[in-house]
Structure 1
Amino acid sequence: MSTTQVYRVWIKASPEKIWTAITDPGWNARYGYAAPQFYELNKGGRFHSTATREMKDYAAANGFEIPDTIVDGEVLEAEPPRRLVQTWRMLMDPTTAAEPFTTLTYEIEDAGPGVCRVTVTHELAGAPAHAAMVAGSPEAAAEGGGGWAWVLSDLKSLLETGKTMAAS
């Protein structure tokens, strides 16, 4: 498993709209795993994501608990609407919680009239459980475990159509 994973998607939306969809909990809770993410968008600012009621109910029904904060980290760089660098650590699972913080970079670049290329680079040195989780798998995607490729595809669907991939 590579210690650096890079994912790209082209989205028909402005850099500002994409930035907002990534950093605003009113938006980021609408796609991907639907867990709101909160940012203090300055160097040293806090980042965290909270478990949804559905996540907590699923965990309870399957005999385990998850913490209220399921992902945490720190903002290292924030250059709206083009670049966000942060540390990132999954706390839902004891294996990933025991690993070191990883580094996640979002880059939003113009790629043609009205289109942006969004690149997510996830540095995962020393974090093999994180690397496997964020890589996802085709089998896991059907159950919401498709990793970054699935999250970015859902972001694209929401911004371009107003609906997520799961919406009918």
Structure 2
Amino acid sequence: MARELTRFIYVTYIASTPEKVFEAITHPEIARRYWGHENVSDWTPGSRWQHVRANDARTVELVGEVRESTPPTHLVITWAAASQADNPDSYSRVTFEITPYEDMVKLTVTHDELEAGSSMAAGISQGWPIVLSSLKSLLETGKPLDVFAKPKAA
């Protein structure tokens, strides 16, 4: 029986340049500021990438492979929890499309090949909006959002 797959698409407009948006995604020292994680790779197709928690433990939380990279407009990576890296079925795909739009950038993030109903699908549907809002905030104001903020109990 084939797995049921789903996808998540997020589009935002950022007052920035394609170069700065691509750098923010691919440079660990910038990603750390708005994501609390570093994306580590040389970003050439076929290379591995790691999503490393930017804390003292430096835990590798996600892993994958760079499938396509055309700076500063296009990046495709595979994505899996580090604990499931040995399971080919655990990998999903993330595509970053960075398009100039007047004096700003249109950023489209498509996370697909996700197992429908999985904890990964649930997690990214909550995670991408705050991470990408934090990216937008950092590039536009110099100040990121707290991506680890939790709603206060009533």
Structure 1 residue runs of 4+, over 2 Å off? 51-54, 96-99, 124-127
Flag structure 1 segments of 5+ consecutive residues without an equivalent.
57-66, 137-146
Selected match of 1:39 from 35, 38, 41 = 41
- Show the counterpart of 1:68: 59
Indicate the percent of aligned positions where both proteins have the same amino acid: 34
Aligned length: 142
| Contact kept in structure 2, 1:89 and 1:97, CA below 8 Å | no
Aligned to 2:98: 108
Q: Which runs of 5+ in 2 are unaligned?
A: 147-154
How far apart, in 2, do the equivalents of 1:110 and 1:9 lie?
Answer: 12
TM, length-normalised to structure 2: 0.83
CA distance 1:153–1:46, shift in 2 (3 Å): same
Residue 46 of structure 2 aligns to a residue in which SS? coil
Q: In the TM superposition, what is the alpha-carbon distance from 1:2 to its structure 2 partner?
A: 6.9
In structure 1, what is the Cα distance between the partners aligned to 2:53 and 2:132? 20
CA distance in structure 2 between the partners assigned to 1:126 and 1:165 by the alignment: 29
Query: Is 1:9 aligned to residue 12 of structure 2?
Result: yes
Root-mean-square deviation (CA, aligned residues, Å) is 2.4
Rounded to whole Å, the distance in 2 between the matches of 1:97 and 1:31 is 29
Distance 2:40 2:32 in 1: 10
Contact 1:90 1:97 in 2 (8 A): no
1:129, 1:152 → 2: CA distance?
Answer: 20
With normalisation by structure 1, the TM-score equals 0.76
More strand by share: 2
Question: Given the alignment of the two structures, is residue 126 of structure 1 paired with residue 115 of structure 2, yes or no?
Answer: yes
